[in-house]
């Protein structure tokens, strides 16, 4: 049973999911690439497939550090399956890099509730967000939940509200200096902003449209589930879960800001959707749960199997 297997946190779970990502990269990205494979390109692919696995592990670290789920691997299971549903993501290296930086920022956002080294955490988060924007401009929208997190945190001050601006300016100045040395110009920011694309013709392909529809369906369903469940959470758990909801909405707008709609932009919403999907699947008392509602148990079991099988089905669309 997948619910039992991924309901635990064993090293074998990470190994299987890592292999799943590698298989998705090899079967999806490389096999569908029209570019002739050269040694340098092969090296790049190898680096990014390892990087993709590290992103999955980083997400798991954030979840465990902030107790966003119980002690299981459901979240990274969903994240891995969503990722392999859209292998076009593996060809969008800038989007992968931007997501890695945004996850590092999310790690700092979620830890603000502890109220220790707050200024350092806020500065780190703003630097990561700005670095992500160098690869994908609309990543800057994550400053909105960052300011919300600052307001929500204990002992918030107006000075802390100004720290993100400092982080932004630090990256901006350093990158401007680098551009001056590398390209002998400081006008890089004129081309920094990406125009929002409205061409969805790539979605006409079944290989893109079907997985996008499924992931968006998960997004809507999990968002509703999260909103309905907020009132049942303890006062200690509620702030981080609310913050995750704000991040989820923000990542949707970040994805919509993509200059070219290829389906890869959905990578931005996969982490929050995976976390909330895990919240739905997990059950604190599995044995009692099976006796109490077998229908719902089998529904969740079938859903997990479908999420596993669908990436392989989409490879042949």
Q: What is the pLDDT of residues 55-76, one digit of tens each?
A: 999 999 999 988 888 889 999 9
Both tokens of 236, joined, read 């200690």
Whole-angstrom Cα Rg for the chain: 20
Q: What is the pLDDT of residues 241-267, one digit of tens each?
A: 888 889 999 999 999 999 989 889 999
pLDDT at 194 (0 to 100): 82
Q: Which of 126, 82, 104, 110 is nearest to 273 (CA)?
A: 82
pLDDT at 26 (0 to 100): 82
pLDDT at 33 (0 to 100): 60
pLDDT at 286 (0 to 100): 47
Residue for token pair 């790690």: 107
Those residues whose C-beta lies under 8 Å from the C-beta of residue 291, and which sit 6 or more positions away, are none
Q: C-alpha distances in angstroms, 195 versus 14, 92, 264, 309?
A: 38, 17, 17, 36
pLDDT at 59 (0 to 100): 95
Distance CA 297, CA 286 (A): 9
b/e 217-252 (16+ beta carbons within 10 angstroms → b) = ebbeebbeebeeeeeeeeeeeebbbbbbbbbbebbb
Spans of the chain, pLDDT less than 50: 285-291
Residue for token pair 């955490």: 121
Show me where the domains of the chain are located.
Answer: 2-314
pLDDT at 139 (0 to 100): 95
pLDDT at 37 (0 to 100): 66
């Amino acid at each position: 049973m997948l619910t039992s297997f991924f309901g635990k946190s064993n090293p074998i779970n990470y190994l299987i999911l890592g292999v799943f990502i590698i298989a998705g990269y090899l079967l999806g990205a490389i096999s569908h690439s029209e570019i002739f494979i050269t040694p340098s390109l092969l090296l790049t692919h190898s680096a990014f497939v390892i990087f993709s696995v590290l992103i999955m592990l980083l997400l798991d670290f954030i979840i465990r550090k902030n107790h966003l789920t119980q002690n299981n691997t459901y979240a990274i299971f969903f994240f891995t399956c969503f990722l392999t549903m859209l292998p076009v993501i593996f060809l969008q290296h800038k989007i992968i890099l931007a997501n890695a930086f945004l996850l590092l920022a999310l790690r700092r956002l979620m830890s603000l509730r502890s109220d220790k080294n707050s200024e350092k955490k806020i500065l780190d988060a703003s630097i990561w967000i700005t670095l992500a924007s160098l690869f994908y401009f609309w990543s800057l929208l994550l400053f909105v939940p960052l300011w919300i997190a600052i307001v929500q945190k204990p002992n918030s001050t107006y000075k802390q509200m100004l720290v993100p601006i400092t982080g932004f300016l630090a990256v901006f100045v350093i990158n401007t200096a680098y551009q001056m040395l590398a390209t002998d110009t400081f006008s890089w920011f004129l081309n920094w902003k990406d125009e929002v694309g409205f061409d969805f013709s790539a979605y006409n392909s079944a290989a893109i449209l079907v997985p996008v529809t499924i992931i968006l369906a998960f997004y809507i369903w999990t968002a509703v589930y999260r909103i309905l469940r907020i009132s049942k959470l303890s006062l200690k758990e509620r702030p981080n879960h609310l913050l995750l909801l704000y991040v989820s909405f923000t990542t949707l707008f970040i994805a919509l800001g993509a200059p070219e709609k290829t389906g890869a932009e959905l990578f931005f919403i996969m982490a929050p959707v995976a976390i909330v999907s895990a919240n739905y699947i997990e059950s604190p008392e599995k044995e009692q749960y099976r006796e109490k509602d077998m229908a719902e148990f089998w529904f969740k079991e079938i859903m997990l199997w479908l999420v596993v099988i669908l990436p392989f089905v989409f490879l042949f669309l």
